[in-house]
Structure 1
Amino acid sequence: MAEVITRFCPSPTGNPHVGMARTALFSWAFARHHGGRFVFRIEDTDASRDSEESYGLLVDVMHWLGLDWDEGPEVGGPNGPYRQSERMDIYADVAQRLLDAGLAYKAYDTAEELEERREKARAEGRASGYDGLHRDLTPEQRQAFEAEGREPVIRFAMPLKDWTFTDLVRGDITFGAENVQDFVIVRANGQPLYTLTNPTDDALMGVTHVLRGEDLLSSTPRQIALYEAFAQIGVGNGSTPEFAHLPYVTGAGNRKLSKRDPESNLLGYRDQGFLPEGLLNYLALLGWSIADDRDVFTLDELVEAFEIGRVNPNPARFDLQKCEAINGSHMRLLPVDEVRDRLVPYLQSAGLVGDPLTAEQATLLDAAVPLVNERMALLTEGVDMLRFLFVSDDDFVIDEADRAKQLDDAGLDVVRAAHAALEGLGEWTTEAIEGALRGALVDDLGLKPRVAFGPVRVAVTGSRISPPLFESLELLGRERSLRRLADAV
């Protein structure tokens, strides 16, 4: 097999979404599996919708995910530039060469004329695409239209034949000639469209395999026709990429997940504290599996096992609970010091620790993270569980729902007994604290541990969900622990 070259070419419009990340992952994994090259380029020809902010987010999120690229922004390469807005002269040249070769033509139809003819075609049961009326205009007809002030678009002249290709996910697919009419490649204002820019870049960058969403399946015959035309005019190496159209990702109600759906927002997962390894692991399962009895794997294992033929063409449903569970599995695969390092930016963002950490904060964090790393599915859960240690006493609050459940009259009696048992404790260690509380609450009051320790936990940590109680009290210290127990009552 010749060198495999794949590409990922998003548009910088809005926030990156999970469907985009799944496409990037599969394209990246396919290239890495075959020892090939992965190209990252930006399709930013629509000045009305594209933004520098979105461009920056795309680059940042690719870095966060760990999907490195061999050609593209920040890396460069032999086929740059890698932003379409910087390649306009290339598209203009290709369009002109297509015109000169008679493979494209100028069409002067007005929007009203086009709609009138489309309505007639629909009424007669015919395909409503472009009917080719201006395909063979004489020079005199073109001059007449231009004299009226009409600005032409450039349409590609589709060969009149059926189009069959083998999709690497879906098998052989055929589009009848009647369903693939001549299409616009350059607007009347001279702006090139996706229909021209995307195949042009693929041809010039030597892309061998195009992995993309199912929604672009219908554009494939047009692009294959363009690759054949490029071979005639000397654009690219004369070859046509192989295509693989990935299944839709669906959300609630089995609807296709759109950019507007909350669970689609890729940056939201980063903000919630997902690990990139965990999120990518789950996204890989949306249409692919490493084995029937295995869901958790590393990126290296994904690359080694990835074959595009194993992608399921059926829609894949996004399950947030399963995504969180897989992320939790990856959290537990990390060394404790790695969890600590990844947790620090979230604690800093919450205003709980400084940037950089103070020596005291670093010491406390080193002791606290081993108590919570096995309990976290998300890094933000670690922030919530450790908040009580780093927040000042003035800012410490108790969750009102947990207060209502645990600190009723009976619960406050337990807190009073706990305060009395700990107040005279000589040694403030986990073992001594546990002995004192079990003696006072379980042995003396006859309470079950769950009933005995729940109110104490809420009083000192502010929540029913926290690190182990006795270790938490030791880390919090005698003075702060006793103050919070007293304040609770």
Structure 2
Amino acid sequence: MSKNFVRVRFAPSPTGPLHLGGVRTALYNYLFAKKYGGKFILRIEDTDKKRLISNSESYIIETLKWCEIEPDEGVGYGGPYSPYYQSKRQKIYHFYINKLLKKGFAYYAFDTNIDLDRKRKKYNDCGLTFSYNYKNRMELNNSLTMNEKQLDTKLKSCSSYVIRFKIQPGEKFNMYDIIRGNIIAYTNNLDDKILLKSDGSATYHLANTIDDHLMRITHVLRGEEWLPSMAFHILLYRSLGWIPPHFAHLPLILRKDGKGKISKRNLETLNFPIFPIQWKVPDTKIIIPGYRELGYFPEAFVNMLALLGWNPGGKKEIFSLQELINLFSLEKINKSGVYFDIKKANWFNKKYLNKKKEEIFFFLCKELQKRSIQYKKNYLWEIIHLTIDRIHFIHEIWEHTFYFFISPISYEKSFFQKICNIKSISQLENVKKLLYHINKFTDVNYKYFLNKDKDKKRHEIIQLLRFSLVGVLKGIDIFMILKMLGKEKSIQRINKLINKIKDTII
């Protein structure tokens, strides 16, 4: 493909926050445009007035900025094909709807909702499904069943109407999807979809087709849910005398529990986030955190999302944005749905964490400042190197390092109850004696002295020691904890636990 030839668009509806599927669609459009030196356009498809939510547009733009996949033109960025809002392009749509009417590709339909409900019920009672199509349109209240005078009278009476596309039956035609290959379509299976609503606004189908042509969109990369509309859109292009763009329909992102696709509708049943950044529900105090607020890095999020349905081949999984651009190929996108696994998302974040040690250092410094704790830089860096493999997020660092800075304030209840006895006190006293006899306090020396101890319950003693130093049965290698704390602080913490046990059993 030649430079500046590719033009793709991301065209979300401002009816709420983007979820994983929407962001992935934007990402694939961005990667494809950048690979071929093309343009990535943001268009807001706000034809559904009833479902518009005020802060959706700013959310969309902020999400793309956080993911570092900003558009080259469109809403918030300007460009030669403005306006990039469908709501501001109604005159354009009316111009082309009149062309379709004159050519006989569209017609007026005056059927009321009550009329159509009756038809649906009648069909349903016979075990059939009603469809407004070539089979029954001549029996319905539309301009196809009227002469010019009747139609003129009907329009002048201000009767409510919609404008429908007139499907020509009996045609079989081939379509090509870059991901799915050749697809055969039959016009007999299509209904006469609405192009213009009763309020005079264009439907998505009409607006989307006109905008893609006028904005010179060369490739339409969109979700699999739009695959059934592909044939209709191609017929629309053809009726207007235009060449359709290339289509690629992306696979669904599925829940790993087998309960269908990821959707905002089943948000409450999910145990993982689906929004890239936090969403503030309008007119409420409800805030739903996104990946950004939960501590995911944008690079890790984008890397994870890119491989959710596409793979360049090979075993490598960590890619910079530029590497993703260089390797991206529509032909390597999966046809079938792909399962989302939050554990894999965490894995990606962990991989990027190793590049964020400076950020971890400053986060840990802030935690210490909150508690008025002072430590030397070298000590902090050594702790970070010891614990970084145990965390997935920067904010987890305190949870995994607190015991290097503060003596246990409390002890994990169930294990403390288990060790509240004279035997535990005796074992802790023996450990204390061992520590006193170590001159050079290193992890190697302590291992040596502990192995010399005749007590056969070595594991039990190590558990007691860890509990006295940390307050819970977790943390890095116990001998490294001893080395970092030093002899004096280690013995102080052992004494503290001994006294706590004594106070409880007396």
TM range (shorter): 0.7 to 0.9
Q: Secondary structure at the match of 1:114?
A: helix
> 1:29 is matched with which residue?
31
Change (3 A) 1:458 1:278: farther
Out of 73, 76, 79, the position equivalent to 1:77 is 79
Out of 12, 15, 23, the position equivalent to 2:14 is 12
> 1:287 is matched with which residue?
309
Change (3 A) 1:455 1:256: same
> 1:316 is matched with which residue?
338
CA contact (8 A) 1:442 1:448 kept: no
The 5 Å alignment of 1:260-271 reads: 260=267, 261-263=270-272, 265-267=274-276, 268-271=290-293
> 1:110 is matched with which residue?
112
Out of 152, 156, 165, the position equivalent to 2:161 is 152
CA contact (8 A) 2:441 2:483 kept: no
CA contact (8 A) 2:407 2:470 kept: no
1:44 aligns with 2:53: no
Instruction: Supply the AA of the counterpart residue of 1:158.
Output: I
Q: Secondary structure at the match of 2:50?
A: coil
TM-score scaled to structure 1, two decimals? Answer: 0.79
CA contact (8 A) 1:166 1:172 kept: yes
CA offset at residue 205 of structure 1? 1.9
> 2:263 is matched with which residue?
258
Which of 1 and 2 has greater Rg?
2
Change (3 A) 1:375 1:220: same
Distance between the aligned counterparts of 1:342 and 1:140, measured in 2? Answer: 77
Q: Deviations over 1:106-141 (max 9, x none)?
A: 321111222333455564867623443425243443
Q: Secondary structure at the match of 1:384?
A: coil
Change (3 A) 1:480 1:281: same
> 1:138 is matched with which residue?
147
CA offset at residue 165 of structure 1? 0.8
Out of 101, 108, 131, the position equivalent to 1:128 is 131
CA contact (8 A) 1:417 1:441 kept: no
Distance between the aligned counterparts of 1:291 and 1:300, measured in 2? Answer: 17
Distance between the aligned counterparts of 1:151 and 1:69, measured in 2? Answer: 40
Distance between the aligned counterparts of 2:432 and 2:88, measured in 1? Answer: 70
More deviation in 221-230 or 81-90? 81-90
Distance between the aligned counterparts of 1:171 and 1:221, measured in 2? Answer: 14
CA contact (8 A) 2:29 2:40 kept: yes
Change (3 A) 1:27 1:70: same
1:301 aligns with 2:323: yes
Q: Secondary structure at the match of 1:291?
A: coil
> 1:325 is matched with which residue?
347
Q: Deviations over 1:211-262 (max 9, x none)?
A: 111111011122222223444xxxxxx4311111112221112522222234
CA offset at residue 171 of structure 1? 1.0
Distance between the aligned counterparts of 1:361 and 1:158, measured in 2? Answer: 77
Distance between the aligned counterparts of 1:54 and 1:342, measured in 2? Answer: 32
1:189 aligns with 2:199: yes
CA contact (8 A) 1:129 1:179 kept: no
CA offset at residue 460 of structure 1? 4.2
More deviation in 176-185 or 83-92? 83-92
Instruction: Supply the AA of the counterpart residue of 2:160.
Output: E
- The unaligned stretches of length 5 or more in structure 2 are 277-289, 501-506
Q: Secondary structure at the match of 2:47?
A: coil
> 1:60 is matched with which residue?
62
- The unaligned stretches of length 5 or more in structure 1 are 232-237
Distance between the aligned counterparts of 1:168 and 1:8, measured in 2? Answer: 18
CA offset at residue 172 of structure 1? 0.9
Out of 365, 373, 387, the position equivalent to 2:388 is 373
Instruction: Supply the AA of the counterpart residue of 2:326.
Output: E
Distance between the aligned counterparts of 2:414 and 2:221, measured in 1? Answer: 48
Distance between the aligned counterparts of 1:53 and 1:411, measured in 2? Answer: 60
More deviation in 399-408 or 363-372? 399-408
Instruction: Supply the AA of the counterpart residue of 2:359.
Output: D
Q: Deviations over 1:83-107 (max 9, x none)?
A: 4344444444444554455443332
> 1:206 is matched with which residue?
216
Distance between the aligned counterparts of 2:487 and 2:91, measured in 1? Answer: 72
Distance between the aligned counterparts of 1:147 and 1:408, measured in 2? Answer: 96
CA offset at residue 66 of structure 1? 2.2
1:432 aligns with 2:441: yes
CA offset at residue 407 of structure 1? 8.2
More deviation in 183-192 or 95-104? 95-104
> 1:235 is matched with which residue?
none
Instruction: Supply the AA of the counterpart residue of 2:396.
Output: E
Change (3 A) 1:51 1:367: farther
Distance between the aligned counterparts of 2:8 and 2:419, measured in 1? Answer: 57
Distance between the aligned counterparts of 2:485 and 2:9, measured in 1? Answer: 52
1:466 aligns with 2:475: yes
CA offset at residue 343 of structure 1? 7.8
CA offset at residue 270 of structure 1? 3.0
> 2:231 is matched with which residue?
221
CA contact (8 A) 1:352 1:387 kept: no
1:340 aligns with 2:358: yes
Give % identity: 30
Distance between the aligned counterparts of 1:195 and 1:12, measured in 2? Answer: 17
Out of 241, 248, 260, the position equivalent to 1:244 is 248
Distance between the aligned counterparts of 2:423 and 2:323, measured in 1? Answer: 53
Instruction: Supply the AA of the counterpart residue of 1:115.
Output: D
Distance between the aligned counterparts of 2:247 and 2:82, measured in 1? Answer: 23
CA contact (8 A) 1:167 1:243 kept: yes
Out of 174, 195, 213, the position equivalent to 1:164 is 174
Distance between the aligned counterparts of 1:62 and 1:228, measured in 2? Answer: 33
CA contact (8 A) 2:312 2:329 kept: no
CA offset at residue 163 of structure 1? 4.0
> 1:234 is matched with which residue?
none
TM-score scaled to structure 2, two decimals? Answer: 0.77
Instruction: Supply the AA of the counterpart residue of 1:317.
Output: Y
Distance between the aligned counterparts of 2:316 and 2:343, measured in 1? Answer: 17
Distance between the aligned counterparts of 2:373 and 2:97, measured in 1? Answer: 61
CA contact (8 A) 1:422 1:433 kept: no
Instruction: Supply the AA of the counterpart residue of 1:265.
Output: I
CA offset at residue 308 of structure 1? 1.0
The 5 Å alignment of 1:88-103 reads: 88-99=90-101, 102-103=104-105
Distance between the aligned counterparts of 1:411 and 1:88, measured in 2? Answer: 81
Distance between the aligned counterparts of 1:6 and 1:61, measured in 2? Answer: 18
Distance between the aligned counterparts of 2:156 and 2:36, measured in 1? Answer: 56
